[in-house]
């Protein structure tokens, strides 16, 4: 598992700062652009796992950048270049401190809340009589406050976001509009590949000239949940579990090993064999979501490769 990148400490020309998120490292170049490196770190329940997953960073970066190009006609984004399989470069933005989560189906966190008897999620009503993985009559937006590394993201309502002044009403209206447009396009792309886009999250920022743009990742297995469309209804009708493409399989493995990110819980050890299966699942996710064969980048010296490619880009 040595051919993974789990941390970066590059020093690029005109570098102003380095921010490390759960999965990505973000380098501020001259207060003009950001170099975002997708590492192989794996985060679940807002906790970063001790070992990296081979090719995960490349997979996330290539899905996200490809999906940004496939949606840029409906929503503007921050992306300007992809100089390396693990790297995206784009405009420096001031991020909004909310994640725009949108759910077309009652799955994951929404289903767990529903099972606990809750019928309101982030101030949005969920209809009575629903089963796990049923489709909502219309997609619901259930925002979360953005957490720093290691902290849990928290559900928040539109009303609280506006009342606390986290986002202005004028900006929030745009965020909701962009979220629905992206989800609609993502749903169409997924359908063309035999998939259902179940739920996802988007992050937005403001450029220096005040333009709201999509940032970070989009429609990746880390930020989204997909079902296989074939047999979806039959599985719902018979009460079977849905076949899904997301990192939910990692969450379920952690739950089975008594870990949900709660205080006092210890992260279970992932064997090299299990990590290999996780890597294989991510490759499968890539190929299904993208509709193409995954081409593994050279990882014999991944740090050196990334540094060389970024330096060559910045030299231009």
CB under 8 Å to 51, separation ≥6 — which residues?
1, 4, 6, 42, 270, 275
Q: How far apart are CA 200 and CA 139, in angstroms?
A: 11
Q: What's the distance, CA 91 to chain centroid?
A: 19
Tell me which residue has tokens 């503007």.
76
Domain 95-245 - what CATH class? alpha beta
DSSP letter assigned to residue 78: S
Residue 2: predicted pLDDT: 58
Contact 161, 172 (CB under 8 A): yes
Q: Which residue, among 193, 226, 178, has the nearest Cα to 77 in the 3D structure?
A: 178
Buried residues in 253-289 as b, exposed as e (16+ CB within 10 A): bbeeeebeeeeeeeeeebeeeebeebbebbbebbebb
Rounded Cα–Cα distance for residues 86 and 36 (Å): 8
**pLDDT (tens place) for every residue of the chain, 316 residues total:** 458 999 999 999 999 999 998 899 999 999 999 999 999 998 888 888 889 999 999 999 999 999 999 999 999 999 999 999 999 999 999 999 999 999 999 998 999 999 999 999 999 999 999 999 999 999 999 999 965 544 567 999 999 999 999 999 999 999 999 999 999 999 999 999 999 999 999 999 999 999 999 998 999 988 899 999 999 999 999 999 998 877 778 888 899 999 988 888 988 989 999 999 999 989 988 999 999 999 999 999 999 999 999 999 999 8
Sequence ranges of the domains in the chain: 15-94+269-315, 95-245
Sign (positive or negative) of CA dihedral 246, 78, 36, 54: positive
Q: Is the pTM of this model over 0.85?
A: yes
What local confidence, expressed as pLDDT, does residue 148 receive? 53
Domain 15-94+269-315 sits in CATH 3.40.1390.10: no
């Amino acid at each position: 598992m040595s051919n993974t990148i789990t941390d970066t400490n590059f020093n690029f020309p005109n570098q102003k700062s380095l921010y490390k998120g759960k999965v990505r490292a973000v380098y501020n170049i001259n207060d003009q652009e950001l170099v975002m490196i997708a590492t192989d770190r794996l985060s679940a329940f807002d906790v970063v796992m001790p070992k990296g997953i081979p090719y995960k960073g490349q997979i996330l970066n290539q899905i996200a950048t490809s999906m940004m190009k496939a949606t840029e006609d409906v929503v503007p984004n921050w992306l300007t270049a992809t100089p390396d399989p693990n790297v995206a470069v784009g405009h420096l933005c001031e991020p909004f401190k909310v994640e725009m989560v949108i759910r077309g189906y009652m799955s994951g966190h929404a289903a767990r809340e529903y099972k606990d008897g809750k019928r309101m999620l982030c101030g949005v009503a969920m209809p009575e009589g629903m089963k796990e993985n049923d489709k909502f009559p219309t997609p619901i937006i259930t925002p979360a406050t953005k957490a720093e590394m290691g902290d849990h993201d928290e559900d928040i309502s539109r009303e609280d976001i506006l009342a606390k002044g986290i986002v202005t009403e004028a900006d929030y209206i745009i965020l909701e509009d962009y979220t629905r447009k992206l989800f609609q396009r993502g749903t169409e792309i997924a359908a063309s590949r035999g998939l259902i886009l179940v739920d996802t999250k988007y992050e937005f920022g403001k450029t220096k000239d005040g333009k709201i743009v999509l940032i970070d990742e989009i429609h990746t297995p880390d930020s989204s949940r997909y079902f296989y469309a074939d047999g979806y209804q039959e599985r719902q009708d018979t009460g079977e579990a849905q076949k899904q493409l997301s990192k939910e399989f990692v969450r379920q493995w952690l739950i089975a090993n008594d870990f949900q990110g709660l205080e006092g819980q210890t992260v279970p050890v992932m064997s090299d064999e299990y990590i290999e299966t996780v890597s294989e699942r991510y490759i499968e996710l890539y190929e299904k979501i993208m509709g193409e064969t995954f081409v593994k980048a050279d990882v014999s010296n991944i740090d050196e490769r990334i540094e060389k490619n970024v330096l060559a880009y910045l030299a231009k």
